[in-house]
Amino acid sequence: MALLVETSNAYGRSLIKGVIHYMRKHGPWSVQLFEQDWGGQPENFIRTWKGDGVIARIETPTMAAALSQLKVPVIDVSSARLVPALPWFENDYRLIAKAALDHFRERGHRRFAVCGQFCHNWSRWLGDHFAALVREAGYDCCVYDTSPTGEGRPERLLAAWLKNLDKPIALLACNDFNGRMVLDLCRGEGILVPDEIAVLGEDNDEVYCELADPPLSSVQQNGLRVGFEAAAGLARMMRGEKLGNEGFFVAPIGVVTRQSTDVLAIEDSRVAKVVRYIREHACEGINVKDVLRHNPQSRRLLEARFKKTLGHSPHDEIINVRISRVKALLVETDLSLELISEQCGFAYVEYLSVAFKRVVGVAPSTYRKEHKR
């Protein structure tokens, strides 16, 4: 089989790793990897290539035309959809947008913005989903398109937009490149990150994120799962099964938090103090009584303040923090549910299972199976 996926970015490499995982599990394929940059043109020999199937990120009309001439199964792993007749495997951008909004709202944000290169489908889909979810939650969302326009110094226009935003505000950049650009402009304009603008990227390219100043938080896609499922789809097609032009969408792993969003945008200082304590100690098995012991005040008054500020109770906050940690351990480790229960502050594994299903909607074992790398 042929693999036409760029190796110049983290997401492309994760797709390739997903294909490798499939090969290890289901037997070896003879693979021809055509290395290229994002949007690169296929080499001439792909037109005369003899093989059984192709997985490709089809990003240009030239590549689309070349692959359309092949008489073998082809799987598309690009959002561009230049060959609509092909089955395609992609990220679920609505769930990425939801993960971003949940991340911001957990930190108390009530003002939101999104920017990205909306000339690309993936960026436009993510921006549209985020803005729609923000408005469904009862808030306004500021939107800025960073697509090239031919105008000189487009950074100046983006910088002016950032400067004029009502603050504090939470901003989703539609990939890590845009996130770093926002951080650079904020630094140049004297805008404090994350205090005035909390910035979240998407892709979680660790090199990009860790070299940013401050380090950039980012939504972690599950490119490994996309690659694995694409390989499974190609295997089915090579056995003669018809997939049509269906879309197969994979949920993100979650948000990797770094300094660019590490802030509590909560005006009520007492609530902010309690939330910070909960997030630092929730997995130690604390309860609301422990919270009140370290932050003396009326429980009834604290419940009312939490409901007004965050929309849920201190107990719900404790559970949410624990469940977030459980989700990470289910995906990133092979620990048993009993050990995960101990590490996340649940007294009994049965209680963990009930709480997890109530919050997430599925059992822990199902979640692990669906999201495991």
How far, in Å, are 169, 281, 307 from residue 264 at the CA level?
Answer: 11, 16, 16
- Asked if the model's pLDDT at residue 328 lies above 90, the reply is no
Q: Count CA atoms within 13 Å of residue 173 on its CB side.
A: 27
- Cα separation, 154 vs 132, in Å, equals 26
CATH number corresponding to 93-221+255-261:
3.40.50.2300
- Cα separation, 196 vs 186, in Å, equals 10
How far, in Å, are 32, 52, 72, 83, 95 from residue 47 at the CA level?
Answer: 14, 14, 12, 16, 37
- Cα separation, 317 vs 290, in Å, equals 14
Q: How confident is the model at residue 248 (pLDDT cuts 50, 70, 90)?
A: very high
If one compares 244 and 81, the residue with the highest pLDDT of the two is 81
The per-residue DSSP string of 304-339 comes to HHHHHHHSS-HHHHHHHHHHHHHHHHHHH----HHH
The mean predicted confidence, pLDDT, of the chain is 90
If one compares 62 and 27, the residue with the highest pLDDT of the two is 62
For the stretch 208-221, pLDDT in tens is 899 998 999 999 99
For the chain, what are the domain ranges? 2-90+223-248, 93-221+255-261, 269-371
- Cα separation, 103 vs 275, in Å, equals 14
How far, in Å, are 15, 31, 363 from residue 166 at the CA level?
Answer: 39, 52, 41
The superfamily in CATH containing domain 2-90+223-248 is Response regulator (3.40.50.2300)
- Asked if the model's pLDDT at residue 297 lies above 70, the reply is yes
Cα dihedral sign, 326-332-337-340: negative
Q: Region 242-260: what's the mean pLDDT?
A: 90
Q: Region 330-356: what's the mean pLDDT?
A: 92
How far, in Å, are 27, 343, 363 from residue 366 at the CA level?
Answer: 25, 20, 5
Q: How confident is the model at residue 140 (pLDDT cuts 50, 70, 90)?
A: very high
Q: Do domains 2-90+223-248 and 269-371 have the same CATH topology?
A: no
- Cα separation, 113 vs 127, in Å, equals 9
Tokens of 28: 């070896």
Residue 254's SS3 state is strand
Above pLDDT 90, what percent of the chain?
66
Tokens of 91: 């990220």
How far, in Å, are 53, 266, 268, 294 from residue 304 at the CA level?
Answer: 60, 15, 12, 18
The superfamily in CATH containing domain 269-371 is Homeodomain-like (1.10.10.60)
- Asked if the model's pLDDT at residue 42 lies above 70, the reply is no
Q: Region 14-38: what's the mean pLDDT?
A: 84
C-alpha angle 244-246-251 in degrees, rounded to nearest 5 = 150
Burial 301-323 (b: 16+ CB within 10 A, else e): ebeebbeebbeeebeebbbbbbb
Q: Region 303-330: what's the mean pLDDT?
A: 90
- Asked if the model's pLDDT at residue 299 lies above 60, the reply is yes
Of 27-36, 77-86, 183-192, the least confident: 27-36
In this prediction, residue 272 carries a pLDDT of 83
- Asked if the model's pLDDT at residue 7 lies above 80, the reply is yes
For the stretch 97-130, pLDDT in tens is 999 999 999 888 999 999 999 999 999 999 999 9
- Cα separation, 139 vs 107, in Å, equals 15
- Asked if the model's pLDDT at residue 6 lies above 80, the reply is yes
Q: How confident is the model at residue 62 (pLDDT cuts 50, 70, 90)?
A: confident
CB 299 within 8 A of CB 270: no
If one compares 21 and 371, the residue with the highest pLDDT of the two is 21
For the stretch 217-243, pLDDT in tens is 999 999 999 999 999 999 999 999 998
In this prediction, residue 366 carries a pLDDT of 92
Q: How confident is the model at residue 148 (pLDDT cuts 50, 70, 90)?
A: confident
Tokens of 61: 């009309």
Q: Region 134-144: what's the mean pLDDT?
A: 96
Q: How confident is the model at residue 152 (pLDDT cuts 50, 70, 90)?
A: low
The per-residue DSSP string of 24-42 comes to HHH-----EE----TTPPP
In this prediction, residue 182 carries a pLDDT of 96
In this prediction, residue 129 carries a pLDDT of 98
Cis bond upstream, residue 148 (ω within 30) = no
The per-residue DSSP string of 163-186 comes to HHS-SSEEEEESSHHHHHHHHHHH
